């Protein structure tokens, strides 16, 4: 495996910690060291590890078979749950990952509108589809006064760059000016209401409303990428923001710990997938799409996420953000914490975080982040290497105290 494992996201020098097992909010590495897990497989494991209801349901299905060349009732159950929770979603298609969900949403938007281009926010992560990863990590040397289409991977075709319009997150005036120059060619605007890589600050309600208006006026589709943000509320970020997107992409938590993704939305748009009147505008398969293990685990996980569970997660998140902000203030180390609900991100940048550019770390700030997350590891807490933490339902207020204590110790070492 190039670099020693299969995911750039878990690479670490001199080598990553290798996981052995997890229980609740704790994980043990292969050396037997126990830690509180604030990565939760990059936000997917919202109920932590070995949740007994999920395990029991999956064990029952394992004995019956794991994937068929037939649909199963399990996909109907999860689709009904998602449609009930997300009023903007009339129909759902399942995929195996969030990347695929975003890819199918963008292709659906093109198929529905007959237009080639998509718009996305600078610095926002939406998975590995060529079009979705443009300007994911544009840097001061190439970002220009207003956002430009910058390749993420070497070898990105010029055609992809030409068909992706990049807008500055939360900047209404500039975004509308850029979009206005492209209208008529734009199939969709892809937005994450709480973009993790662009600073983990919430989209302003006015910003999202302005994008919704632009889409209504120009026949462009608004796509919410809720692969992560569905963990913010019972009706997703769209429920909290009070906006109905035309399409929504989902993943992570809706698989209950198993591979999953989904695209859902307006019935007339989702009809591009429908083969019942002949060849659809957008044929879509996927060998393991809607496999009953992911569907069943996902349904049980989502049923466990009732309003009480969200309230518990919100309160843990508020406690963690307040504790970490206080730890920064007392340590004298320059930095801040952003986030909402059960998500938070630590920054070592100066000044308030307003979006991707103000959250962008200089090499020295990036070095501090590396030292900080290593300090957390050595004090019993796992966080993503860029400072993201995602909390889980089995955590208690006492666990958050332990997390904040690890932050305090790690900041003290940095100071």
Cα distance between residue 335 and residue 358, in whole Å? 12
CB atoms within 10 A of CB 371: 14
* Residue (of 207, 240, 202) closest to 344 by Cα position: 202
C-beta of 125 vs 348, nearer to ligand PMP: 125
Q: Dihedral angle at the C-alpha atoms of 86, 90, 93, 97, nearest 10 degrees?
A: -20
Site string for ligand PMP, 315-344 (x = CB under 6 A): ------------------------------
Q: What is the DSSP letter of 59?
A: H
User: Which of 225, 264, 317, 391 is in the footprint of ligand PMP by CB under 6 A?
Assistant: 225
Distance CA 251, CA 228 (A): 7
- H or E element in which residue 246 lies: none
Interface stretch with ligand PMP, choices 86-94, 98-106, 347-355, 394-402 (CB under 6 A)? 98-106
Q: Which 195-224 residues touch ligand PMP, going by CB under 6 A?
A: 196
Binding residue (CB under 6 A) for ligand PMP from 40, 74, 88, 99: 99
* CA separation for the pair 177, 169 (Å, rounded): 13
* Residue 395 DSSP class: -
Rg of the chain taking only CA atoms, in angstroms:
21
Using CA atoms, how far apart are residues 239 and 231, in angstroms rounded to an integer? 12
> Site for ligand PMP (CB under 6 A): which residue of 22, 168, 245, 251?
251
Distance (Å, whole) CA 3 – CA 237: 36
- Select 323 or 339, whichever has its Cβ closest to ligand PMP: 339
Binding mask 123-152 for ligand PMP (x = CB under 6 A): --xxx-------------------------
| List 40, 74, 88, 97, residue binding ligand PMP (CB under 6 A) | 97
d(Cα 356, Cα 359) in Å, to the nearest integer?
Answer: 5
Stretch that binds ligand PMP, among 122-130, 181-189, 265-273, 360-368 (CB under 6 A): 122-130
* Contacting ligand PMP within 257-276 (CB under 6 A): 261
Catalytic residue numbers, as ranges: 125, 225, 252
User: Per-residue x/- marks for ligand PMP, 13-52, CB under 6 A?
Assistant: -----------------------------x----------
Q: Which positions lie near ligand PMP, rule CB under 6 A?
A: 42, 97-99, 102, 125-127, 192, 196, 225, 227-228, 251, 261
């Amino acid at each position: 495996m190039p670099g020693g494992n299969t995911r750039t996201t878990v690479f670490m020098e001199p080598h990553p910690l290798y996981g052995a097992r997890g229980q609740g909010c704790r994980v043990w590495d292969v050396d037997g060291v126990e830690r509180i897990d604030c990565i939760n497989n990059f936000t997917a494991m919202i109920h932590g590890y070995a949740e007994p209801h999920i395990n029991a349901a999956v064990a029952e299905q394992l004995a019956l078979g794991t994937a068929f060349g037939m649909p199963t009732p399990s996909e109907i159950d999860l689709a009904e749950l998602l449609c009930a929770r997300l009023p903007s979603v009339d129909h759902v298609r399942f995929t195996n990952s969030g990347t695929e969900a975003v890819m199918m949403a963008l292709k659906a938007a093109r198929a529905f509108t007959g237009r080639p281009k998509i718009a996305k926010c600078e610095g926002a992560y939406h998975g590995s589809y060529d079009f979705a990863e443009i300007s994911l990590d544009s840097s001061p040397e190439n970002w220009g006064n207003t956002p430009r289409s910058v390749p993420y991977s070497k070898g990105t075709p010029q055609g992809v760059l030409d068909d992706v319009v990049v807008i500055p997150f939360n900047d209404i005036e500039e975004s509308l000016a850029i979009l206005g120059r492209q209208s008529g060619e734009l199939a969709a605007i892809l937005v994450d209401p709480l973009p993790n890589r662009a600073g983990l600050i919430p989209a302003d309600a006015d910003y999202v409303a302005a994008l919704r208006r632009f889409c209504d006026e120009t026949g462009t589709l608004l796509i919410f990428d809720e692969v992560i943000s569905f963990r913010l509320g019972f009706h997703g970020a769209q429920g909290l923001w009070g906006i109905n997107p035309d399409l929504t992409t989902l993943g992570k938590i809706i698989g209950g710990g198993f591979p999953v993704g989904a695209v859902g939305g307006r019935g007339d748009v989702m009809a591009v997938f429908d083969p019942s009147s002949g060849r659809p505008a957008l044929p879509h398969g996927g060998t393991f799409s809607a496999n009953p293990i992911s569907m069943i685990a996902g349904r049980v996980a989502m049923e466990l996420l009732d309003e009480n569970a969200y309230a518990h997660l919100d309160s843990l998140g508020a406690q963690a953000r307040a504790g970490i902000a206080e730890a920064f203030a007392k340590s004298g180390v320059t930095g801040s914490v952003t986030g909402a609900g059960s998500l938070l991100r630590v920054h070592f940048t100066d000044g308030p975080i307003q979006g991707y550019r103000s959250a962008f770390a200089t090499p020295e700030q990036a070095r501090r982040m590396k030292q900080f997350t290593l300090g957390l590891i050595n004090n019993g807490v796992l966080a993503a290497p860029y400072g993201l933490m995602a909390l889980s339902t089995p955590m208690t207020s006492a666990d958050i105290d332990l997390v904040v204590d690890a932050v305090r110790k790690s900041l003290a070492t940095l100071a």
